[in-house]
Amino acid sequence: MTKEYYQAHKKEVAEQQKLYHQTESYKISRKKTYAKYDNSEKGLAKRKRYFNSDKFKAVCKKHDDKRRQTEAWKIKSRAQHAVAYAVKMGSITKCPCLVCGDTKSFAHHHKGYDTANIFNIVWLCRKHHNEAHKVKL
Protein backbone atom coordinates (compact mmCIF):
# COMPACT_ATOMS: atom_id res chain seq x y z
CA MET A 1 0.00 0.00 0.00
CA THR A 2 1.45 3.30 -1.02
CA LYS A 3 1.47 6.40 1.10
CA GLU A 4 -0.67 8.27 -1.42
CA TYR A 5 -3.34 5.57 -1.48
CA TYR A 6 -3.40 5.48 2.31
CA GLN A 7 -3.81 9.25 2.56
CA ALA A 8 -6.65 9.21 0.01
CA HIS A 9 -8.53 6.28 1.63
CA LYS A 10 -7.66 6.69 5.31
CA LYS A 11 -11.17 6.00 6.67
CA GLU A 12 -11.74 2.92 4.51
CA VAL A 13 -8.35 1.44 5.43
CA ALA A 14 -8.96 2.08 9.10
CA GLU A 15 -12.36 0.38 8.88
CA GLN A 16 -10.84 -2.65 7.10
CA GLN A 17 -8.10 -2.90 9.73
CA LYS A 18 -10.68 -2.69 12.51
CA LEU A 19 -12.66 -5.54 10.96
CA TYR A 20 -9.53 -7.63 10.44
CA HIS A 21 -8.40 -7.11 14.03
CA GLN A 22 -11.67 -8.67 15.19
CA THR A 23 -11.17 -11.86 13.17
CA GLU A 24 -10.01 -15.10 14.73
CA SER A 25 -7.09 -15.47 12.29
CA TYR A 26 -5.66 -12.11 13.39
CA LYS A 27 -5.97 -13.02 17.07
CA ILE A 28 -4.21 -16.35 16.49
CA SER A 29 -1.36 -14.81 14.48
CA ARG A 30 -0.94 -12.04 17.05
CA LYS A 31 -0.85 -14.58 19.86
CA LYS A 32 1.81 -16.63 18.04
CA THR A 33 3.91 -13.54 17.40
CA TYR A 34 3.80 -12.46 21.04
CA ALA A 35 4.42 -16.01 22.28
CA LYS A 36 7.46 -16.33 20.02
CA TYR A 37 8.90 -13.05 21.34
CA ASP A 38 7.94 -13.68 24.98
CA ASN A 39 9.69 -17.05 24.98
CA SER A 40 12.81 -15.77 23.23
CA GLU A 41 15.90 -14.85 25.23
CA LYS A 42 15.34 -11.19 24.43
CA GLY A 43 11.71 -11.26 25.60
CA LEU A 44 12.52 -13.16 28.80
CA ALA A 45 15.37 -10.79 29.60
CA LYS A 46 13.17 -7.74 29.01
CA ARG A 47 10.40 -9.12 31.21
CA LYS A 48 12.87 -10.02 33.96
CA ARG A 49 14.36 -6.51 33.86
CA TYR A 50 10.90 -4.95 34.11
CA PHE A 51 9.75 -7.13 37.02
CA ASN A 52 12.95 -6.29 38.91
CA SER A 53 12.75 -2.57 38.11
CA ASP A 54 11.77 0.15 40.53
CA LYS A 55 9.07 1.25 38.07
CA PHE A 56 7.25 -2.09 38.35
CA LYS A 57 7.55 -2.12 42.15
CA ALA A 58 6.22 1.45 42.34
CA VAL A 59 3.23 0.59 40.13
CA CYS A 60 2.41 -2.46 42.27
CA LYS A 61 2.80 -0.52 45.52
CA LYS A 62 0.63 2.33 44.25
CA HIS A 63 -2.10 -0.11 43.20
CA ASP A 64 -1.97 -2.06 46.47
CA ASP A 65 -1.88 1.07 48.63
CA LYS A 66 -4.84 2.56 46.81
CA ARG A 67 -6.87 -0.62 47.19
CA ARG A 68 -5.96 -1.23 50.82
CA GLN A 69 -6.81 2.30 51.96
CA THR A 70 -10.52 1.69 51.91
CA GLU A 71 -12.36 0.51 54.98
CA ALA A 72 -14.58 -1.68 52.80
CA TRP A 73 -11.52 -3.61 51.61
CA LYS A 74 -10.37 -4.21 55.21
CA ILE A 75 -13.79 -5.55 56.24
CA LYS A 76 -14.05 -7.73 53.15
CA SER A 77 -10.53 -9.07 53.63
CA ARG A 78 -11.20 -9.93 57.30
CA ALA A 79 -14.32 -11.87 56.33
CA GLN A 80 -12.54 -13.77 53.56
CA HIS A 81 -9.61 -14.68 55.81
CA ALA A 82 -11.96 -15.81 58.58
CA VAL A 83 -13.78 -18.19 56.22
CA ALA A 84 -10.51 -19.50 54.76
CA TYR A 85 -9.17 -20.17 58.27
CA ALA A 86 -12.41 -21.88 59.33
CA VAL A 87 -12.25 -24.17 56.27
CA LYS A 88 -8.60 -24.94 57.00
CA MET A 89 -9.37 -25.78 60.65
CA GLY A 90 -12.39 -27.88 59.71
CA SER A 91 -15.06 -25.71 61.36
CA ILE A 92 -16.70 -25.17 57.97
CA THR A 93 -16.93 -27.79 55.25
CA LYS A 94 -16.42 -26.63 51.67
CA CYS A 95 -19.49 -27.64 49.64
CA PRO A 96 -20.16 -27.85 45.89
CA CYS A 97 -21.84 -24.99 44.04
CA LEU A 98 -25.38 -24.43 45.28
CA VAL A 99 -26.66 -23.85 41.72
CA CYS A 100 -24.85 -26.32 39.44
CA GLY A 101 -23.04 -28.68 41.83
CA ASP A 102 -19.52 -27.88 40.59
CA THR A 103 -16.96 -29.03 43.17
CA LYS A 104 -14.66 -26.06 42.56
CA SER A 105 -16.63 -23.50 44.54
CA PHE A 106 -16.00 -20.27 46.42
CA ALA A 107 -17.59 -18.76 49.51
CA HIS A 108 -20.07 -15.99 48.71
CA HIS A 109 -21.02 -13.61 51.53
CA HIS A 110 -24.56 -13.00 50.32
CA LYS A 111 -25.59 -10.91 53.34
CA GLY A 112 -22.49 -8.75 53.45
CA TYR A 113 -19.10 -8.80 55.13
CA ASP A 114 -19.91 -7.33 58.55
CA THR A 115 -19.00 -9.36 61.66
CA ALA A 116 -22.55 -10.60 62.19
CA ASN A 117 -22.55 -12.26 58.76
CA ILE A 118 -18.93 -13.43 58.41
CA PHE A 119 -19.92 -17.10 58.36
CA ASN A 120 -23.27 -16.57 56.64
CA ILE A 121 -22.11 -17.82 53.24
CA VAL A 122 -23.24 -19.88 50.27
CA TRP A 123 -20.89 -21.88 48.07
CA LEU A 124 -20.91 -20.90 44.39
CA CYS A 125 -18.72 -21.74 41.39
CA ARG A 126 -16.87 -18.90 39.65
CA LYS A 127 -19.62 -18.43 37.03
CA HIS A 128 -22.51 -18.22 39.52
CA HIS A 129 -20.44 -16.16 41.98
CA ASN A 130 -19.86 -13.53 39.27
CA GLU A 131 -23.56 -13.61 38.36
CA ALA A 132 -24.52 -13.09 42.01
CA HIS A 133 -22.33 -9.99 42.18
CA LYS A 134 -23.80 -8.64 38.92
CA VAL A 135 -27.32 -8.97 40.33
CA LYS A 136 -26.36 -6.91 43.40
CA LEU A 137 -25.04 -4.06 41.25
Q: What is the mean pLDDT of residues 19-29?
A: 89
State whether residue 33 is helix, strand or coil: helix
At residue 63, does pLDDT exceed 90? Answer: no
Rounded Cα distance between 97 and 106, Å, is 8
Rounded Cα distance between 18 and 95, Å, is 46
Tens digit of each residue's pLDDT (9 = 90 or more) over 27-62: 888 888 888 888 889 888 998 999 999 999 988 888
Q: At what angle do helices 54-68 and 41-52 cross, to 10 degrees?
A: 50
Q: Which residues of 35-74 are buried (b: 16+ CB within 10 A; e: fewer)?
A: eeeeeeeeeeeeeeeeeeeeeeeeeeeeeeeeeeeeeeee
Show me where the domains of the chain are located.
10-63, 71-136
For the question of whether the overall pTM of this predicted structure is more than 0.85, the answer is no
